[in-house]
Chains A and B, each alone.
Chain A
């Protein structure tokens, strides 16, 4: 069965510092992979997605993610975090019939 693990429940970084949020998945085939962001009281906004091709995917708001098949990972990165990036981030894995979400990582940005 497919599953998604986000090992870090909460991460705190300083504004301007780099960020990496971890995501590991379990899936029988090559999955479709997604990262979403949720600000307080809001729905989930799609940051980026990977279906096939180049394993380094660029998204909105300066985020990128890299698919590493050998490590079953799809980590989200940003070179310089802004205070407005404080939110909850969800990794998701699926195919055309089923989507599974990780438990989320809450990001706090220190001034």
Chain B
């Protein structure tokens, strides 16, 4: 079974631009969440989607947005990029079970803002 797939793996953007990152969850997983990872702040939760609806949202400005499609694939968008948005963006899909949920991560998308 394929893992969580994120594209692109690496990208460089200029301040003020916007970026869209894509994530395909593990087949059968309907929940997708996004995290930002930086050396200074560690892993920070951005948002979670389940059945095309945002279920949870972290403490990030409105420039960060996401959506989920009917096939569970998800995209996140960051508008008006700032230098501080340079980070590894991790997508994770969740296996939900009666006993407990398990999160599986993709390889991440490295975003550099210059």
Interfacial chain A residues near B55, Cβ < 8 Å: 97
Question: In whole angstroms, how far apart are the Cα atoms of A111 and B69 in the complex?
Answer: 48
Known contacts A98-B56, A103-B42, A104-B42: A42-B101 contact under CB 8 Å: no
Contact B90 A46 (CB under 8 A): no
Tally A residues with Cβ within 8 Å of B: 23
CA distance A20 to B69 in the complex (A): 42
Q: Which residues of B contact A95 (CB under 8 A)?
A: 100
**How many Å lie between the Cα of A102 and that of B107 in the bound state?**
19
A42-B107, A42-B108 as given contacts; A90 in contact with B101, CB under 8 Å: no
From B43, B56, B96, B110, give the contact of A101 (CB < 8 A).
Answer: B43
Chain B residues within CB distance 8 Å of chain A: 4, 6, 42-43, 45, 55-56, 90, 92, 96, 99-108, 110
Beyond A42-B108, A52-B100, A104-B43, 14 extra complex contacts between A and B, CB < 8 Å: A34-B103, A43-B4, A43-B107, A44-B90, A44-B92, A44-B105, A46-B102, A46-B103, A52-B99, A94-B101, A96-B100, A96-B101, A98-B56, A101-B43
Provide 30 A-B residue pairs closer than 8 Å at the C-beta atoms, listed in order of the A residue.
A32-B101, A34-B102, A34-B103, A41-B110, A43-B4, A43-B90, A43-B106, A43-B107, A43-B108, A44-B105, A45-B105, A46-B102, A46-B103, A46-B104, A46-B105, A49-B102, A51-B100, A52-B100, A90-B43, A95-B100, A96-B96, A96-B100, A97-B55, A97-B56, A98-B56, A99-B45, A99-B103, A101-B42, A101-B43, A104-B43
